[in-house]
Structure 1
Amino acid sequence: MLLKAIYRPQNLYCLHLDTYSGNDIRSAAKSLAACFNNVFLASRSEYVTYGGFSRLRADINCMEDLLSKTQKWKYMINLPRQEYPLKTNIELVKILKIYNGSNDIEGITGKRMLPIRYQYKQEYVSSNSGRSLLLGTRELKEKSRITSPL
């Protein structure tokens, strides 16, 4: 449904399938990608843990694949499965033209800073489904290991 909503023939689409994805989903995604010359599966798959580095690694895998493509492109927008664009494609194009090549990476500073994200230790825990979850602990990191995002 997401691809149907955002698809434009002039754009490139990289689909990263979590390594946990079953054969049915993988087969369906391959079949879908085969219908379009601008949709492809990421060459490497990650065991994605929400909130963990593997989520970023999945994006980096698609970025590396995009850089190897001969088709020209200007912007890369990542859309995890739990997100849905609130702007139409035309609105996004207008916004990107206004940005004129600059990045739009939101930082959290001041009152919006969430110290719990960097002051406390986090650990991976296996769930009942066998997936790893990243959970926060109530244990503070050592002072020398705390790096503020400022």
Structure 2
Amino acid sequence: MKKSLSVIGLVLVVAAASVACDKIKSPMPELQKSPAPSGQASPPEGERTAFAQAAQKELDELKVTIAEFKAKAEASGAQTKTRLGEEVKKLEADLGEAQQRLAALKAATVESWNQVKASFSSSLEQLKRGVENFRKNPV
């Protein structure tokens, strides 16, 4: 009986020790991501996704605006139609470039994201300036 009590005691000590060891384990060190080349930290994945979605929405709105400009150009007189048509083609080219840069932005690695974002933002600003210039031109 004395032997069985010591075996039971030993089993309880081993069981308690194994449970306690699970709680004492030191946490695994997290792998550090290399910093972005621009010196800025890359945003978290959720922020990147939100930016890409907002950018896509803005491009979609500009696409609708450009389609309206195209319809306006088609409804104009011959000389105005030619001039406005050329401006619309330039806006469509700028839109295509911005869409390509957005696709690159969505596929960018963590390391290159800030650089690709800056490139996209520049392209988007150029497109917006073109749209504003078109609006200012009288028909």
**TM-score in same-fold range (> 0.5):** no
Select the structure with the greater relative contact order (CA < 8 A; seq sep ≥ 6): 2
Instruction: Pick the TM interval, shorter chain.
Output: under 0.3
User: With structure 2 as the length reference, what TM-score do the two structures score?
Assistant: 0.22
In terms of fraction of residues, the more strand-rich structure is 1
In terms of fraction of residues, the more helix-rich structure is 2
User: With structure 1 as the length reference, what TM-score do the two structures score?
Assistant: 0.21
